[in-house]
Amino acid sequence: MKEPATRLVGHEGPLSALAFSPDGRTLASAGSDKVIKVWNLANGNEARAYRGHTDWVASVQFAPRRRSLASTGVDENVMIWRFSGDDGDSSTFGHARRVNGLSMSNDGRLLASCSEDRTIRLWDLTTGAELRVLDGHTAGVAAVAMTPDGKYVVSFGDDLNTSFGTRRPAPTSAPATRQTRSC
């Protein structure tokens, strides 16, 4: 195996999440040490470290315009880290159990998070408001993806179902999600 061009050293345990910034100049890494590190890929140095999760960090994603970074964790939290000043500031949203993943709309205003609590939660990142809870799964939700325009989300759960839903409120007579059995 060929030696890597750059080694990024600094975490104190196994990693579970990596994400490139939209411009490809930085990389976020996170894992069991509860720390999110942002690396400058031009020189391999740690640019920032974010601490706030109280347990293993499960996923990270940069906002499309690179003004913030979102993370999820075993601590049941979704955290938004805004890049302002040296330290940045953060917002925290929650689920009732471990948060497994997230997906953001292309404009960076909407976020979908999925959890072991069997829900997908949709958040307005400009206000911090919870817009909707999609609860069609019968077991933990393992992954979520949002369409670039933020109109639809797709999720996959431990119940072996793929669920498709909309962020718009459903009519009272219609279900919030449609499920199809995966192959």
pLDDT tens string 102-125: 999 998 899 999 999 999 999 998
Instruction: Decide if 74 contacts 98 (C-beta within 8 A).
Output: yes
5-21 mean pLDDT: 83
Distance CA 158, CA 47 (A): 36
Q: Considering the domain boundaries, does residue 60 fall inside one?
A: yes
**Taking all residues of the chain, what is their mean pLDDT, rounded to a whole number?**
83
Give the containing element (helix H, strand E) for 70: strand 68-73
- How many domains, in total, are found in the chain? 1
Print the domain residue range for 40.
15-167
Looking at the DSSP assignment, which residues form a beta bridge with residue 104?
Answer: 111
Residue 47 has pLDDT above 60, yes or no: yes
Question: What is the pTM for the complete model shown?
Answer: 0.81
What does the block give as tokens for 7? 């080694």
Look up the CATH number of the domain holding residue 21: 2.130.10.10
pLDDT attached to residue 128: 85
Residue 6 in any domain: the answer is no
Calculate mean pLDDT across residues 19-33.
93
Is 180 inside any structural domain?
A: no
DSSP assignment of 103-145, as one string?
EE-TTSSEEEEEETTS-EEEEETTT--EEEEE---SS-EEEEE
